[in-house]
Amino acid sequence: MSGKKIRVLVADDSAFMRKIIGDILAVDPNIEVVGRARNGIEAIVLLSELRPDVMTLDMDMPGKNGIEVLREIMSANPTPIIMVSSLTKEGANVTMQALKLGAVDFVTKPSGTISLDMKKVGGELIQKVKGASRAMLKNALIHPVPQKPASFASMAKMSDSHTPPPLPRREITDKPELVVIGASTGGPNALQTVIPALPADFPLPILIVQHMPSGFTTSFAQRLNENSELAVSEACEGMPVRKGAVLIAPGGYHLVVERHGAELLCGLRETPPVRSVRPAADVLFKSVAETTIGSTLAVVLTGMGKDGYDGVKLLRAKGAYVLVESKETCVVYGMPGAIAGEGLADEILPIDAMAEGIGRAVRQMMGAR
């Protein structure tokens, strides 16, 4: 990266955390820490005065907490914000709320409010600040209300009334066995638009990799389950992959698929991160390419980086159909853009049309001879 530096405001009520976060960011020559706020009220004032490109915002602060500050900023002075959260159940729930309110992403303090080992996540923090500086903030603030079809059949009829996608559709010769989805930055809100829009009789299992740390995927799966017709849960070792189930890779583990006779089962692996993430969509997609007999529908949503690219190439070589989210609705167009840029996408759809596109593609694939 070259040229203008990314100007960052750090907000945390701990002087130690303000210093360590600022020092971590200042190591990168492309980042400049322009201010440090001691509380929520000062954060709002300094944001208005300094106009930073990105702000890191502690969740727990006196006066105004992180959520209150976030809500006020997004209403009056929208700015890309990285939330700094604790690794607790409460922290996970509040973080989900923050993402819904428009926070671009989050990092977790490794060992509580005052984390002496914050440098453990230093690389992640720098990467996410850089990603946030390029984020399409308006898309983080827009959450389409999912349409809930009564059945898969009615969903298929809905898709007939819409204009065909701009890319030619390939013929699929094998019956579909799975839907796999990869997402990162902006993914929680995108998935909360797509999954609740799928009917209870959706005919295939769905496996999801969303980049999140341990504990946060539990909270996310529960929230998604509450709003969906399908049963959503975290994947567990040995869990059957069955129709009507939406399984989310747990934070800190790669999710793979294993075949035992006629049945597919989930496997969890603590092997090294791939493209700096665990879980990684590439690991899931590659295991599906190696394991499944039928075809696969692969979906890649908003996210920073290129996770999913290698896996999609393998899946597509085995006859998979590939949908990616369009740039016009992505918070970050990295993951889908890498696939679309190489001509590996069969359809490029905005997030509010993605559930319908999934239904159309699955129906088309189920008609394969």
Average pLDDT over residues 306-320: 96
Beta strands in the chain (DSSP E): 6-11, 31-37, 54-58, 81-86, 105-109, 176-183, 206-210, 231-234, 245-248, 254-260, 263-269, 295-300, 321-325, 347-349
Helix (H) or strand (E) holding 260: strand 254-260
Mean pLDDT, range 184-197, rounded to an integer: 96
- The confidence score (pLDDT) of residue 145 equals 80
More confident residue, 276 or 113: 276
**What letter does residue 241 receive in the DSSP assignment?**
-
Token reading at 353 = 């049309």
Q: Which residue has the tokens 């915002």?
A: 57
Q: How far is the C-alpha of 325 from the C-alpha of 303, rounded, in Å?
A: 10
Asked if 9 contacts 34 with a C-beta cutoff of 8 angstroms, the reply is: yes
Averaged pLDDT, 71-99:
89
- pLDDT reported for residue 165: 52
Instruction: Please tell me which residue in 184, 228, 295, 326 is annotated as part of the active site.
Output: 184
Is 184 an annotated catalytic residue? yes
Beta bridge partners of 82: 56, 105
- pLDDT tens-place string over residues 126-149: 999 999 999 999 999 888 888 787
Q: Which residue has the tokens 């999609």?
A: 312
* Cα 185 from Cα 106, distance rounded (Å): 9
Q: What is the pLDDT of residue 62?
A: 81
Q: What's the rounded Cα separation, in Å, for the pair 194 and 128?
A: 24
Q: Name the band, by pLDDT with cuts 50, 70 and 90, for residue 104.
A: very high
- Of the candidates 307, 310, 346, 352, the residue annotated as catalytic is 307
Q: Using the structure block, give the residue that is written with the tokens 């239904």.
A: 359
Rounded to the nearest integer, the mean pLDDT of the chain is 90
Q: Which of 68, 73, 38 is nearest to 52 (CA)?
A: 73
How far apart are the C-alpha atoms of 277 and 254, rounded to whole Å? Answer: 9
Q: What is the mean pLDDT of residues 113-133?
A: 88
Per-residue pLDDT at 156: 59
Distance CA 266, CA 230 (A): 18
Is 310 considered catalytic here? Answer: no
Helix (H) or strand (E) holding 24: helix 15-26
Assess whether pLDDT exceeds 50 at residue 39: yes
List 211, 282, 295, 352, catalytic entry: 211
**Residue 299 is encoded by which pair of tokens?**
């979906």
Query: On the CB side of 365, how many CA atoms lie within 13 Å of its CA?
Result: 24
Structure tokens at 278: 């665990």
Which tens digit of pLDDT belongs to each residue from 42-70? 999 999 999 999 999 998 888 888 999 99
Contact 31, 1 (CB under 8 A): no
Cα(234)–Cα(186) distance, rounded to whole angstroms? 19
Full-model pTM: 0.92
